[in-house]
Structure 1
Amino acid sequence: MNVNSNYILVGLGGTGGKVLKAFKKRMFQEFSAEERAKIPVGFVYVDTTDEMMRPGDKTWYVLGENAQFNTNEFVFIKGVDLDQIFANPTGFPGLSGVIGDPEVMQKTIGNLGAAAGQKRRAGRILFGANVARYRQAVNAQYDKCKVISGNDKTTVLIFSGLAGGTGSGSIVDVVAQTRKMDQFNNEGTSIVVFPMIPEVTPPGGCDAGRYHANGYAALQELNALMVGAYKPFDLTGLSPTGRVEFGGIKRIANGLMVYSDVNENGYTVNPHTELPQIVSDFAFARVFMETNGNTEEYERSFSFENIDDWRTEYWEKAKNGEIVPYRTKALGSFGIKRIIIPDEEIKEYFTWTLGRQSLLQLRYNNWNDDIGFRDAPANVDWADYVKGQDKKLGNPLENWRFSDKHLMLDIPILPSDEGKWGTFQAYWGKVVPKWLEDAQDASQPIAKLNELVAKGLQSGFRAAGIADFFAGKKEAREKIADEIVQRIEADLFDKWAAGTFALYNLLELSEAIMAETQSKIKQFEDRSVKLRQVVDKLEQERQARAKEYNDAGLITRGLKGKQMLAGYAETMQKICVRKTEVEASGFALDLLKVLLGKENILHSRLEKFVSTVSDAIEEADRQAGSRCKDEVNTTSLEGTVIRYYDQPKVKEFTQTMVHSRKNQENISTAVRQEILKAIGSEKTFARANETIDQDVLDGIFEKTVREKVISIHDNTLVEASEKLINRSILEQLAEQYTSADSLSNFARKIMKESGVMVKLNHTEVGLSVPNNPTTEIGKNVAKKVILVSLPKVEGN
């Protein structure tokens, strides 16, 4: 990394913003955060729309980091009300010359709508109303760069389209106001402008009737500014003359690097996607170029120092003796041809493909040695499991508090009830024999026992009596149902977190739990009826035993009395247990109905989380499918980026990784752990849905999965000749072109097919003009400089 000057990149409108975006994203790709902090490069993006500033825009993310402009790098110039300016023009003295008659200007501009409405005057006024904010933003970036570099040498690169209202309207004022700033008001500061010439055929829907006119007018103004024939109005309102005074500086801008979507060989690129990247790559190469004796001529051409003697063409119709600067010749263009191994794209292909596999593990966990983790579930029958009858998977009912004994509160569900009371059988089995002992001494033992039992049923059972106890618990059934569902959810979450169950298993299991709950509702409805029938039979038995005892004489009672009373007490104990179960069954029925609703809610949460993972699988499919799909054609070199890599080997190695169970489980475990880390300490699917979305999963892919697949690649493909990433393009070319002749032919073809991003009229280029030196192509016009930049041999 070698930056020999402070650089401030200014982007105007959508075109300029896209170039800055591509540049900044490449910085994030090439350099770490620590390295970027030491680079004296600043950004100022000026626009009438804040579309590029919307939070969470995934197009800004690079390796999991958001490269988006910060607020100090963005100047939003549509935050002013033009109608207020027109209503009070004296309040904006810097705009008076631009506006002229405010009423006429207001009618001329009309309603802007989106952005600057392709109206140059609107773009100019909007910039003028915000010129102070622009200067502040540039100042801030200059100060930042100066602190980093320790010097004040600065180069300002201004990028703009000329077809829209924002760029076309503001570019002349941006150049003038930048040069006027104290830090840049000297010949030592280079200002290079990159204006994009409007396409010959405007993209669909882009031409509002001013597309080409805007470009022509902006170029005319830039030309006049460059030759000193035009001084724009001083939008700050501080100039005594009302115009921007440059204090004798001849180079208001060092030059214009014009470009279009068609290069000199007729090769057309997409103006919205490819072209901003090309411009950015060219600027990036200049900013980070290591300077030496071989780069001197290139540097001089970039700053237009190599045409100092021929910067201006004079008016051919001037009278004898008059020298009238008329046209700037500080015009250049550029082309760039990058010969690369698409290292980043290959890494991304690995990442998305293997990341998709990790999500399939989370979703289905169904391994097949021939294809890796399958995109389909394994067949599992959960019916026995939710009944607690699956010997292989175990019995979860105790943990869930979902057994019949729990549902009837024979044993506690809530932690707060634990240790307070025993089972129905334990309670009645303890108190009834004691009451029998107390009753035996009474004159009428059966009546006494009946009295004690009735009291126990009414108020003794669990210090409340069976009716009141279960009535109270019915009031708390929402809380009790929550406890069960929370336990179920915690268990499902833990089993998924441990990799025991897949998400699809959890959905099936959740459905099985709801089905079992519905089945239990029917069972308890039937049980309540049967229990009442049992109580009725026991009541008949009790009455018969009471009659037998009461009818017995003194001798019979003396011989069998205790035995008869014990039998009676045993029947009474059974009645107490069954009556308790009747109340308990009614409670269980109410609880299950509440529980079913809460289980449905849990199931919905599971479905939502599974849907997030399923969507992420589809996104991974799409992302992987959009990468490494080109067939490498080494015979066609007309594109701006020539890609050299062995695509079949990339696909083959990817499948090798997919089929490695060890690698797949390693990646899947790491992905799951990162998801769990993002969810935090609250292990619920509600929390999972709050915290996990496509952005989070993308971040996990771009960091965790990426690191894993690169490590697998490096540890598997050890030899340099085998490697598919992290290798030098020179090594790749050496393998492709094994002789000096073949390499020379390749180099010649590259040179031939390279071209600057503008089509020239060669008749005009060679034309000599009166009052000017004779045209000499290659000397005072159409000078061409070619720089070949090679990577270090030991690295990519």
Structure 2
Amino acid sequence: MRGDDERSLAALCADSRRLGRLLLAGAAASFTAALDRAVASLQSDAAMPLTFHIVFGLGEGPGGGLIEVVAGIRLRWRDPRRARILVYGRLPDPDGSGDDGSSNRPSNTYAALVELNALAAGELAPQDFTSGELSVESRPALSAAYLFGGTLENGQPLSDEDVLETAAQFLRQRMEIDQAEGAGRDRLRQLEGGAYGGSGPDQQIWSQIASVPLLAFGSKRLVSPDGEIREALGLSFTRAGLLHLLHNHWQDGAGFVDEPSGAPAGAALRGDVESRWLISEDHLLLSQAILPAEASDKRWQSITDEWSSIMEGFKDLARLRERGKWLDTLIALCHRRYTEDFRNVGVAEFYRSRYAEAAGMAAEVRARIERDLIEGCRTGRWSLGDLAGIVDSLIGWQEERLAGIPERIARIRRSEDETRVRIIGVCQKWASLGPFARISGKCEAVLDECAVQLHDLNVKMTRAEAWAFAGQLLPAILTELQDLKQTIEAVVLRVADVVATIDRRLDRLADVLEAEPNAYVPVVRLFNRDRLRGIAAAVLTDEREQRDHATRMRDSLFANMDSQAGFQALLDHFDGSDPLHALHAIGDSRVDDAHANHVATAGEGVLRLTVLDQIREMYGSDPLALRSFFDTVVSATHCLIELNGTASATERRSFALLPHAGKPEAFAKQVRAGIRACAGAEMTLLDTGRSPFEIGIVTIQAVPALSEVASLAAFDAAYQARLFSDTATAFYDMHTVSTATDLKPLVTQVPEHQKEMAAGFNLPHLLIGLVRGLVYDRRGGSSGTDGFLLVPKDADGFDEQPVYLGTDLFASSEALPASTVALLSANNARALSDASPAQLDDWRQGVVSLVNRTKAERGNDPTDLIYRKFVEAGKTASQMLRGERR
């Protein structure tokens, strides 16, 4: 790795094909294991033929592993008749426009094309990257190589999405052709075998060939988009059901809409909801029990009843005493009841013992509320949006209650004092009674009055303690309600996310279904767009239809949930691996019924119409329009590569993949005749038994040579510029093969460009190599051929095999292959980084001497053009030695 480069690993991968190759080699074991598993899943018999399809980006760093992948496959399945390998290389935009990745894709692409050309010609025998030892035989390891890019052969650019769509459908169509028996398969094999002239079983398409053919392809599908229409309608039903669940807001003419209905949430808190949800005042004060075990205890009474039920008994006990002690006895009995016997422990102790159970009581309150709310959601009484508002209002209500507790207790305490004053008055009245008052019955009246006041006082004192307890219970209830609110809001957000996902998919479907037919795009959709709009509007705004569907979807959604399950279970359902799948199945199940109802009333439909039905409806009554339609479609099935003009007359074949003939058969024959008439003799019609909803058109064009690719010059220019600016590492970044391999260039460089390279880079490195002793001048020697030799050093400092450069230094600089330049510059760069300042200065003086010697050899003419080149090269070498440039 370059020490001065701080780019991330991902960026290095995009820039360096060699690094991509290295990363692939690091995963060699997992790659081959996955390959073996894939083959085992396809082959029931080891003798079954295989076809390996490899799709890769020519300009990508990881695409540098193509050669190793091919070698890894071929070394396991050696017979090309039993295991075919086809590669599909995607060419990037030559100028990199619209690319989010590496700016080095064009230069990488040229390097990749050079290697692909060598691989196809059988001139490259790479080692198996899984073992590092075995090599593929010299014969071509590939069966065919397809190239495709973002521009059609007529120069029309395609979107990235259309490029991928075309490539994907071509792969499927090519496999269909290959699996068909008869002339179609034979012609495909002849194209991919490079035998363009003949046909039939006698054609030896697997004989030893000089090179693997390079091909381009075009693909078209004429479809009746039944699946897309069905999906759009099904998703629309699903969306409507979810909006009913989310808001339940119906608008005439629009259906269920994605906005709240505006109904006040507080309305749901009326009626007996307080008691049903265990949040009435009696429940908060434990006048009524909250916990199930206590609620089932028949001895449990309200606070008022607790004191009312014992007062008559207490009066009877008081009457058993002397008359003068009746009130004292009654007061004492009430005090004991309050401090010790209320619910067996006394008032204060009872409520103190319930503080520890506040969390359990709050959970019971939350469970009761949640069960009621989810049942309301299950029955359609409330939407999820209503529920969030209800809980929010409920929280606000309880917060107000909690805030008012101190004032409530203070009022009760003030009222207690008033009651105590009345009791004192009763006691004073009792003390003033004379002997005749007892005879007249006034004692009983005063006793009854005292009992009433004592009952009132003890109820108030108990309620004061109870409100103090409520001040501890309400925060626990609020905590549960906040959590419930968050869970409901999470469900609301998740359902809204699912609706948004549906909306995005519907937008995409709308883009393709609303678009008018275009013969130049990969998929030409044939159907009546106005009719689809009408049917969609009718069924999606039918309130009875949509409410019935919403009920069914809601029932299905809750069907598998436990009756005691809460909103977390609902959230878990929507957070599942594919929550939309089951919901869409429900919506999709309604499409056929709704469509059938519409057909019954309106007499027209858009589903279950084959592609022949659609073509017949659009063009069946006008033979000239039908012929014009097929002429346009077939002629617009262009290959995804722009070739130079000389390639237009080369071998080309077209295939039409047709479904089985439908009814009426006469029109199916008319379609076949129209396609054949438009395409001529090179069109092969295949009855593939494919879906009745589509017709496929495929064009395959032979590329006579890579030099015919229109963008090759731009790729080469980027390659040369990158090599010129950074030869020390650019060769290694762009290529995956060894520097010792001489690669055949695809573009012959003009002499002026070679001289520019020599003066600008090659010659400076040769000068540095000479002063370092890396380049050896053997002119005038006693043995061997005169000339210059490059003698690189290995890691231990020993001389490696010399590379002969030529007899003239400047001529040698012009003729240096890229691999030799890379070797020379890499050795120089390593030496310069390790040298001392004194050594660098010595080398710089040596470069000056070499330039001066050249002047003498050129007749001491300071204007000599070659000498001037050496001067410029010497200046560049001096800058490199001073560290001013690379």
1:413 pairs, out of 290, 294, 316, with 290
CA gap of 1:435–1:624, structure 2 versus 1, over 3 A, is same
- Does residue 1:193 correspond to 2:87, yes or no? yes
User: Could you say which residue in structure 2 is the equivalent of 1:692?
Assistant: 574
**1:502, CA displacement in angstroms?**
1.2
Q: Name the stretch that deviates more: 330-339 or 363-372.
A: 363-372
1:233 pairs, out of 110, 122, 127, with 127
Report the Cα distance in structure 2 between the residues aligned to 1:360 and 1:785, rounded to whole angstroms.
49
Report the Cα distance in structure 2 between the residues aligned to 1:747 and 1:721, rounded to whole angstroms.
30
- 1:574-597 superposed Cα distances (whole Å, 9 cap, x missing partner): 222222222223323443344334
Report the Cα distance in structure 2 between the residues aligned to 1:266 and 1:157, rounded to whole angstroms.
27
TM-score, normalising length from structure 2?
Answer: 0.67
CA gap of 1:109–1:438, structure 2 versus 1, over 3 A, is closer
Report the Cα distance in structure 1 between the residues aligned to 2:242 and 2:533, rounded to whole angstroms.
20
1:657 pairs, out of 539, 555, 572, with 539
Whether the aligned pair in 2 keeps the contact of 1:266 and 1:759 (CA below 8 Å) is yes
CA gap of 1:227–1:308, structure 2 versus 1, over 3 A, is farther
User: Could you say which residue in structure 2 is the equivalent of 1:753?
Assistant: 636
- Does residue 1:141 correspond to 2:38, yes or no? yes
Report the Cα distance in structure 1 between the residues aligned to 2:5 and 2:470, rounded to whole angstroms.
78
Aligned to 1:328, what secondary structure does the other structure show? coil
User: Could you say which residue in structure 1 is the equivalent of 2:738?
Assistant: none
Q: Which structure 2 segments of 5+ residues have no match?
A: 200-207, 664-691, 694-886
**1:691, CA displacement in angstroms?**
4.3
User: Could you say which residue in structure 1 is the equivalent of 2:72?
Assistant: 177
2:167 pairs, out of 274, 279, 285, with 279
- 1:154-191 superposed Cα distances (whole Å, 9 cap, x missing partner): 11122112111211x2212222221221x343433222
User: Could you say which residue in structure 2 is the equivalent of 1:24?
Assistant: none
TM-score, normalising length from structure 1?
Answer: 0.75
Mapping for residues 191-230 of structure 1, pairs under 5 Å: 191-204=85-98, 208=102, 210-230=104-124
User: Could you say which residue in structure 1 is the equivalent of 2:58?
Assistant: 162
1:572 pairs, out of 447, 454, 457, with 454
User: Could you say which residue in structure 1 is the equivalent of 2:847?
Assistant: none
Report the Cα distance in structure 2 between the residues aligned to 1:375 and 1:626, rounded to whole angstroms.
19
**1:264, CA displacement in angstroms?**
1.5
CA gap of 1:423–1:188, structure 2 versus 1, over 3 A, is closer
Report the Cα distance in structure 1 between the residues aligned to 2:563 and 2:540, rounded to whole angstroms.
32
- Does residue 1:361 correspond to 2:244, yes or no? yes
Residue type of the alignment partner of 2:418: K
Mapping for residues 264-303 of structure 1, pairs under 5 Å: 264-271=153-160, 273-289=161-177, 291-301=180-190, 303=192
Residue type of the alignment partner of 1:118: D
User: Could you say which residue in structure 2 is the equivalent of 1:609?
Assistant: 491
CA gap of 1:669–1:232, structure 2 versus 1, over 3 A, is same
Report the Cα distance in structure 1 between the residues aligned to 2:254 and 2:414, rounded to whole angstroms.
60
User: Could you say which residue in structure 2 is the equivalent of 1:63?
Assistant: none
- 1:636-663 superposed Cα distances (whole Å, 9 cap, x missing partner): 4222221212222222211212222232
Report the Cα distance in structure 2 between the residues aligned to 1:264 and 1:479, rounded to whole angstroms.
75
- 1:233-255 superposed Cα distances (whole Å, 9 cap, x missing partner): 3434464xx63336xxx452121
Report the Cα distance in structure 2 between the residues aligned to 1:338 and 1:397, rounded to whole angstroms.
64
Whether the aligned pair in 1 keeps the contact of 2:535 and 2:598 (CA below 8 Å) is no
**1:686, CA displacement in angstroms?**
3.7
- Does residue 1:725 correspond to 2:613, yes or no? no
- Does residue 1:153 correspond to 2:35, yes or no? no
Report the Cα distance in structure 1 between the residues aligned to 2:557 and 2:515, rounded to whole angstroms.
41
CA gap of 1:108–1:191, structure 2 versus 1, over 3 A, is farther
CA gap of 1:192–1:376, structure 2 versus 1, over 3 A, is closer
Mapping for residues 458-477 of structure 1, pairs under 5 Å: 458-477=339-358
Residue type of the alignment partner of 2:313: K
Report the Cα distance in structure 2 between the residues aligned to 1:387 and 1:372, rounded to whole angstroms.
30
Whether the aligned pair in 2 keeps the contact of 1:362 and 1:503 (CA below 8 Å) is yes
Whether the aligned pair in 2 keeps the contact of 1:679 and 1:692 (CA below 8 Å) is no
Aligned to 1:198, what secondary structure does the other structure show? coil
CA gap of 1:453–1:635, structure 2 versus 1, over 3 A, is closer
- Does residue 1:785 correspond to 2:674, yes or no? no
User: Could you say which residue in structure 2 is the equivalent of 1:20?
Assistant: none
1:255 pairs, out of 144, 147, 151, with 144
Report the Cα distance in structure 2 between the residues aligned to 1:410 and 1:635, rounded to whole angstroms.
75
Whether the aligned pair in 1 keeps the contact of 2:240 and 2:546 (CA below 8 Å) is yes
Q: Name the stretch that deviates more: 188-197 or 525-534.
A: 525-534
CA gap of 1:597–1:129, structure 2 versus 1, over 3 A, is closer
CA gap of 1:721–1:439, structure 2 versus 1, over 3 A, is closer
1:447 pairs, out of 324, 328, 339, with 328
- 1:409-448 superposed Cα distances (whole Å, 9 cap, x missing partner): 1111111212142122322222221122122121222222
User: Could you say which residue in structure 2 is the equivalent of 1:126?
Assistant: 23
Whether the aligned pair in 2 keeps the contact of 1:234 and 1:244 (CA below 8 Å) is yes
User: Could you say which residue in structure 2 is the equivalent of 1:400?
Assistant: 277
**1:710, CA displacement in angstroms?**
4.1
Whether the aligned pair in 2 keeps the contact of 1:612 and 1:694 (CA below 8 Å) is no
- 1:431-475 superposed Cα distances (whole Å, 9 cap, x missing partner): 221122122121222222222111111111101111111222234
Aligned to 1:784, what secondary structure does the other structure show? strand
- 1:46-89 superposed Cα distances (whole Å, 9 cap, x missing partner): xxxxxxxxxxxxxxxxxxxxxxxxxxxxxxxxxxxxx8xxxxxx
Aligned to 2:656, what secondary structure does the other structure show? coil
In angstroms, what is the RMSD of aligned CA positions? 3.3
Report the Cα distance in structure 1 between the residues aligned to 2:102 and 2:263, rounded to whole angstroms.
62
**1:381, CA displacement in angstroms?**
4.2
Whether the aligned pair in 2 keeps the contact of 1:496 and 1:503 (CA below 8 Å) is yes
CA gap of 1:207–1:490, structure 2 versus 1, over 3 A, is closer
User: Could you say which residue in structure 2 is the equivalent of 1:318?
Assistant: none
- Does residue 1:511 correspond to 2:367, yes or no? no
Report the Cα distance in structure 1 between the residues aligned to 2:517 and 2:390, rounded to whole angstroms.
57
User: Could you say which residue in structure 2 is the equivalent of 1:88?
Assistant: none
Report the Cα distance in structure 1 between the residues aligned to 2:280 and 2:176, rounded to whole angstroms.
70
User: Could you say which residue in structure 1 is the equivalent of 2:783?
Assistant: none
CA gap of 1:479–1:116, structure 2 versus 1, over 3 A, is same
Aligned to 1:231, what secondary structure does the other structure show? coil
Report the Cα distance in structure 2 between the residues aligned to 1:619 and 1:354, rounded to whole angstroms.
14
CA gap of 1:691–1:261, structure 2 versus 1, over 3 A, is same
- Does residue 1:647 correspond to 2:529, yes or no? yes
Whether the aligned pair in 2 keeps the contact of 1:407 and 1:591 (CA below 8 Å) is yes
Report the Cα distance in structure 2 between the residues aligned to 1:487 and 1:235, rounded to whole angstroms.
66
**1:283, CA displacement in angstroms?**
1.2
User: Could you say which residue in structure 2 is the equivalent of 1:11?
Assistant: none
User: Could you say which residue in structure 2 is the equivalent of 1:28?
Assistant: none
Share of identical aligned residues, percent?
22
Mapping for residues 88-99 of structure 1, pairs under 5 Å: none
**1:193, CA displacement in angstroms?**
1.7
Whether the aligned pair in 2 keeps the contact of 1:350 and 1:709 (CA below 8 Å) is yes
CA gap of 1:790–1:739, structure 2 versus 1, over 3 A, is farther
Structure with max Cα Rg: 2
Report the Cα distance in structure 2 between the residues aligned to 1:377 and 1:632, rounded to whole angstroms.
29
Aligned to 1:192, what secondary structure does the other structure show? strand
Report the Cα distance in structure 2 between the residues aligned to 1:719 and 1:188, rounded to whole angstroms.
58
Report the Cα distance in structure 2 between the residues aligned to 1:746 and 1:523, rounded to whole angstroms.
80
Report the Cα distance in structure 2 between the residues aligned to 1:785 and 1:377, rounded to whole angstroms.
56
Report the Cα distance in structure 2 between the residues aligned to 1:456 and 1:632, rounded to whole angstroms.
82
CA gap of 1:404–1:146, structure 2 versus 1, over 3 A, is same
Whether the aligned pair in 2 keeps the contact of 1:346 and 1:725 (CA below 8 Å) is yes
Q: Which structure 1 segments of 5+ residues have no match?
A: 1-82, 84-104, 311-324, 389-394, 767-776
2:372 pairs, out of 481, 485, 491, with 491
